[in-house]
Structure 1
Amino acid sequence: MFPDRQRIAAGLLQELKELGEAEPRLLYRRVARYFPQLTNEDLSARSRDGRSVWRRRVQDAKALLMARGEVENRGRRWAITEKGRRRAEAEEMPIQLVLSALQEEGPAPSHEELQRMLAEIGRLLGKHAEVEAQRYDVAWKESPHAPRYSHVFEVQVHGRLESALAKLKQAHDAQRSRPFLVMADTRGVWQVQEALAPYLAGPFHEIASVTQVLTAEEVVRLYRALSSVAALLKRLQDG
């Protein structure tokens, strides 16, 4: 669920207090940190006219701050006014409490932890899952004796993105496996897709329409959700 305009405006004002002025595309990302309830689906949601719902809400909050005289335009950048700075300083403590809570969530999962979670997700869904299967980070089969991998995952933490995409392309070409690229960074899924666009429009265009992109956060959320109902899933599958 999206926060209301007043709360988004408070976060936006705090960011502008720190930056002075900034381009909107930077602020969209930074303001999202204040609202841990936002999912990647929320941040990538589009309205009927194709515009980002989250960006539009931040723009609405900025319009509210402009009406108060706390934010102004400087060319294509948004800037805080002296009136806005005074208000931001008065509201700083509650915002810092929110950020402290976010920082206590712990470090991002490692490559090996993401592999383990992907394998366990597969098993919970009734698949035969393997880690470091042939040359792939994680692969699923419908059963241990199935002749092909139905799903193949590459986890991108470090290293060359081209290498991960090449492995996914090979799996799709050889076995028609469904390719999944897991990006282990803090960006939202729509930002990851923007970064991948040059690759999927170029040398890997043949798998552009079938490659699914997941973030580490999505993998963790799915793992936790399925683990919480593991016993029920087993009963359904055994039955």
Structure 2
Amino acid sequence: MASVSPAWIGAEAWRAGSALKRAGLAGRRIEAPFPLWLVTVPDALDADLVACLDRAENARAHRFSTAFLSRRYLAAHGALRVLGEYYFGVPAARQRYVPNAFGKPCLHGIAGSVSGAQCSISYSRGAILVAWSADGDIGVDVETVRPIADAADLVTLHCTAAEQAALKAAGPLTDLGFLSVWVRKEACMKALGKGFACPPSSFDCGVGHGLGSGFGTCAVEIEGHHMDCGNYDLKGDLAVAWARLRLAG
């Protein structure tokens, strides 16, 4: 998927977007080296979409403190299943997600695990980010740009010395500046599949945002694993990042 043509991306985005629309969801494809979708939390959920979720997902949704958070969770996991069906052919209602030792889900279908299928999901306020890949482990993260009262303390706690120096050289710390680094950290940790078992301060993912409208990336190494990472500043109110482990060889 790393060398897809713009024409192919357009056709794929139209078909996958149509699948989301039939499920009552509005989404748009974000340019990345694998299918990456930004989906809006709907005002109401399609009954068929909710019906495709499993018992555990529905039970967890009902434990959220507000109706909006419950609806967002259901929409996010419904979007994951709809797109999983489109890209890998496993019917949405028959997908099973089996977590690894650190909680990262792996798609299983009717006949067991689906070879090569990797997914990642994130949400912030009214935005949902869903990604699928057949070309290696991936991670994605989205954050709504908002005031972060303790941003300076979080930089000291979670950023490497090189990242702290780069942020300082860039001028006064902004909420977007901090969040642009943070979403990269999160995406890389998700791609590695270990979550916070890998401390954010243990690796350098660079500083900056808006790496271009194409496949602008930076190289990241974590615990001997090499990956590419890219991020975007969408309309100034969403910080989005993706990461993908490089295939061996």
- Give the TM-score of the pair, scaled to structure 1: 0.26
**Structure with the higher fraction of residues in strand conformation:** 2
- Give the TM-score of the pair, scaled to structure 2: 0.25
**Structure with the higher fraction of residues in helix conformation:** 1
Question: Considering only CA atoms, is the larger Rg found in Structure 1 or Structure 2?
Answer: 1
